[in-house]
Amino acid sequence: MGKSFNLKKFISNNAIIILIVLLGILTGFTTKNFFTLNNFKNLVVNVSPRFIIACGVSGCLITKGTDLSAGRAVGLAACLSAMLLQSLDYSARMLPWMPDIPWPVALIIVMVIMGCFGAVNGVVISMLKVPPFIATLGMQTIIYGLCSLITNNQPMGGYKKSYLTVASGSLGPIPYLMIFAVVIGVYFWFLYNKTRHGKYMYAIGGNENAAQVAGVNVTASLIRIYILAGCMYALAGFLVGAKAGGASTATGNGYELEAIAACTIGGVSANGGVGRVGGILIGVLVFEILKICLQFLGVDPAYTYIAQGLVIVIAVALDLRKYLQKK
Amino acid sequence: MEGERKGTTEQGAAGLDGAIGQDTMERQAAADPEEDISGKKEETGMFESIYDRLPDISIKSLDRFIVLCVVVLVMVILVGVLKARHLL
């Protein structure tokens, strides 16, 4: 006998997604140019770096942690990328002595630096047992301070053409940003579902003590998770900088809240142990489609912020509801 | 048969020891909450397992809250759209 379809359960589990799909359909029928290839490309280009950030944060959430330093880390990564990849003939170069380096080398350098910040987070959380909320809140402010120091609070620009092409270029009809996001998505899917690291991550999120007793090196796993998160923020910052054509200390501000909310909408429980890469993508899409719909409808950005805040609250309330039902 | 006898014997024993056992049980019940609290403190750090730290919420009241938030969300979008079209 097949399982009967429970409409009430389906609606309660996917309320936000249903709302946003309805909003998208309404927007498409009441405005011009919504259902166009250009708009779809715009959506993809906006979603890609946010999806990468959300993938990084997801590991922290699945292990019952959080990473409030994500947004500022993206900003610092964007600024570091800017410093390494400014055009040689740009008059206001931050590092005049820096030779011309290819963008993949700059990306690796930025990932190593941000991975170190992630390692610090991981060590503080796993070894010093500082709650992730506090550890990453402190790191958020430290990173912002460092970013202000190294940039002298000056916005940066004058990038090399090859760096700008990373964000603006495409392989046929597929933007490079989308290719980055797809590669990261596939990698994280593989990591979460087919590797020991993924199994350890879910075990720690489900019950850390039981995982420890079962032989999981919880400390090492958590450090790896936060290092990987740092590397993802580096990649996202690199791409955000290329897309915007500039970077400043304000870059990435608030991205962590969006990423955490997107993960929650996509089914990554704040209570740990649960989360899928597909769900993360859906969560990020929901947020971006909401923003784009309201933009197309000509709504004041202030209302967009209010709507986003309400979506976050609804997502967390639905997650809590699932938890209470299980209990 | 043996199982039944065992059951009867157990019942009888429970009845006989009931009064004596009650004191022990009351002492244990008093001790257990203390163990539970300390156990919980060991398991959950600050801000971890946030849902466990929330007061008892019924699913019905949470449902009402979610519906309220959805209604407010729809109203915010509606007001935003009407203001954008200069209808409000």
Residues of A in contact with B66 (CB under 8 A): 12, 15, 314, 317-318, 321
Lowest mean pLDDT: which of A207-221, A266-280, A304-318, B41-55? B41-55
Looking at residues A84-106, what average pLDDT do you find?
93
* Residue-averaged pLDDT of chain A: 93
Q: Taking CB atoms and an 8 Å cutoff, what residues of chain B touch A299?
A: 77, 80-81, 83-84
Most confident of A4-13, A63-72, A253-262: A63-72
| A150 falls within a domain | yes
Task: Tell me B24's DSSP state.
Answer: H
Q: Is residue B46 scored above 80 in pLDDT?
A: no
When computed from its CA atoms, the radius of gyration of chain B, rounded to whole angstroms, is 28
**Element housing A175 (H / E):** strand A174-175
Measured over the CA atoms of residue B54, residue B64, residue A312 and residue A193, the dihedral's sign is: positive
The answer to whether B73 contacts A321, with C-beta atoms less than 8 Å apart, is no
pLDDT of B39 reads 41
Lowest-confidence region among A151-155, A220-224, A315-319: A315-319
Note down the domain range covering B10: 1-49
Residues in chain A within 8 Å Cβ distance of B50: 270-271
Does the structure show a pLDDT above 80 at B85? yes
Among A224-238, A259-273, B22-36, B57-71, the minimum mean pLDDT is found in B22-36
Q: A77 vs A115, A166, A252, CA distance in Å? A: 11, 15, 9
* Distance to chain B for A132, nearest Cα, Å: 8
For chain B, what is the domain count?
2
Determine contact: A305 vs chain B, CB below 8 A. no
CA distances from A149 to A47, A115, A145, A154, A190 (A): 30, 20, 6, 10, 38
Judged by DSSP in three states, A247 sits in strand
- pTM, rounded to two decimals: 0.84
Which runs of consecutive H residues, i.e. helices, occur in A169-300?
176-194, 196-206, 208-213, 218-244, 255-265, 277-296
Q: Do A131 and B46 touch (CB under 8 A)?
A: yes
Q: Based on the domain organization, do B73 and B88 belong to the same domain?
A: yes
B10/B24 same-domain check: yes
Indicate whether B63 and B84 sit together in one domain. yes
Give residue A319's pLDDT band: very low, low, confident or very high (50, 70, 90): confident
Please state the rounded mean pLDDT for residues A214-231: 97
Please indicate, yes or no, if residue A79 is contained in any of the structural domains: yes
**B41 and B62 belong to one structural domain:** no
Q: In this structure, is residue A239 part of a structural domain? A: yes
Total domain count for chain A?
A: 1
* pLDDT, tens only, B10-42: 444 444 444 444 455 545 444 444 444 444 434
What pLDDT does B6 receive?
A: 42
Q: Which of B48, B62, B79 sits opposite A321 (nearest CB)?
A: B62
A22 interfacial to chain B (CB closer than 8 Å): no
**Contact pairs from chain A to chain B, CB under 8 Å:** 84
Contact A297 B84 (CB under 8 A): yes
Domain that holds residue A138: 35-252
pLDDT for A28 equals 92
Q: A314 and B66: CB-CB below 8 Å?
A: yes
pLDDT value, residue B52 = 66
CA distance A37 to chain B (A): 24
> In angstroms, what CA-CA distances link A33 with A36, A146, A214, A296?
5, 42, 55, 9
Distance from CA of A259 to the nearest CA of B (A): 19
- Most confident of the ranges A259-273, A294-308, B17-31: A294-308
ipTM greater than 0.85: no
Residues B70 and B42 in one domain: no
Q: Which residues of B touch A (CB under 8 A)?
A: 43, 45-51, 54, 57, 59, 62-63, 65-66, 69-70, 72-74, 76-77, 79-81, 83-85
DSSP tag of A159: B
For chain B, the average pLDDT equals 63
Q: Is residue A274 part of a domain?
A: no
Q: Do B47 and A132 count as a contact with CB atoms less than 8 A apart?
A: yes
Do B24 and B64 share a domain, yes or no?
A: no
**Contact call for B76 and A307, based on CB within 8 A:** yes
Per residue in A174-217, pLDDT tens?
Answer: 999 999 999 999 999 999 999 999 999 999 999 999 999 999 99
Residues A239, A25 contacting (CB under 8 angstroms):
no
Report d(CA A222, CA A224) in Å as an integer.
5
Residues B6 and B43 in one domain: yes
Nearest-by-Cβ selection for B62 from A304, A311, A320: A320
Q: Is a pLDDT exceeding 50 seen at residue B44? A: no
A132 Cβ under 8 Å from any chain B Cβ: yes
Nearest to A299 among B65, B70, B80 (CB): B80
Confidence of residue A109 (pLDDT cuts 50, 70, 90): very high
pLDDT band at B53 (very low <50, low <70, confident <90, very high): low
Q: Are residues B44 and B2 in the same domain?
A: yes
The reply to whether residue A64 touches residue B48, judged by beta carbons under 8 angstroms, is yes
- A229 pLDDT exceeds 60? yes
The model's confidence at residue A2, banded by pLDDT at 50, 70 and 90, is low
Contacting residues for A295 by C-beta, under 8 A, at least 6 apart: A304
What local confidence, expressed as pLDDT, does residue B59 receive?
87
Residues B63 and B45 occupy one common structural domain: no
pLDDT tens for A38-68 read 899 999 999 999 999 999 999 999 999 999 9
